[in-house]
Chain A
Amino acid sequence: DVKVTQSSRYLVKRTGEKVFLECVQDMDHENMFWYRQDPGLGLRLIYFSYDVKMKEKGDIPEGYSVSREKKERFSLILESASTNQTSMYLCASRTQGTEAFFGQGTRLTVV
C-alpha cells in the first residue's frame, strides 16, 4: 500500500516562527501536493510539485513556500507563521494512472 506520512499530527507554534511541515511518500510518485483544509471551505491547494526541485503555485500560495530536494519528500514552509494560518494541512501524492493518496493531516495552531 502507498504510504504518505506527515511528520506531525498536531503542532503548536508561535506567531512569527518559521514552521516546517514535512511529508514523505514511499511509492516513487512524481507529483506531490499540499492542501489546506478549513471548515466550510473544503480543501484548497497551496503548492504542488511535479518533479524534484520543480514546483507550482496553487490557489492560495501567499505566506507559504515549499521545498522538494528529494523525490520522496515535500516540505511546506511557513516563513513567518500567523494566526490566520491555523488550519489542517494535508499532503498528497500521485503518479500517472493513480489517484491521489493522502497523509493523515497536520493540525497546526499558531498562537
Chain B
Amino acid sequence: AQTVTQSQPEMSVQEAETVTLSCTYDTSESDYYLFWYKQPPSRQMILVIRQEAYKQQNATENRFSVNFQKAAKSFSLKISDSQLGDAAMYFCAYRRRSGGSNYKLTFGKGTLLTVNP
C-alpha cells in the first residue's frame, strides 16, 4: 500500500521569506502523480501544484515550486516570498496514474504553516 509521510507537523516563516515543506512517500509503482493541497481556515481544499512522476522537470506555479526526487521518493514544496495568505494546512498527496484504485488520493497528515508578519 502506498503511504505518504509529512514529518513536519508545524512550520513557521516570516513574511517575504522562503519555506520548504517536506514530504516522502512509499510506492512500488513507477507511474503516478504527486500533489500539494492547501487548506486555509475556510476549510476549502485547493490544489497548489501537481507533479507527474514520468516528468523529470520540477513543477512550478508562480511562487510555489517542488523538488521531486523520484529515486529518493521525496517531494518537497518550496514557497518563495511567503505571504500572509499562504498560512494554511498543507497536505502532500499521491495517486496512481492508471490501473485499479487509481481513483483515490492518499494523503499525508499535513503540515500547518504559520506566516509571521
Contacts and interface: CB of A to CB of B under 8 A. Distances in A.
Interface of A: 31, 33, 35, 40-45, 48, 50, 56, 58, 88, 90, 92, 94, 99-100, 102, 104-105
A43 to B, nearest CB: 4
Contact of B103 (A31, A40, A43, A104): A31
Given A88-B43, A99-B35, A104-B44, A45 B109 contact: no
7 contacts: A33-B103, A33-B104, A42-B6, A42-B110, A56-B101, A88-B43, A102-B45
User: From DSSP, what is the main secondary structure of chain A's interface residues?
Assistant: strand
B104 A43 contact: no
Contacts of B104: 33, 45, 48, 58
B75 interface: no
Contacts of A41: 109
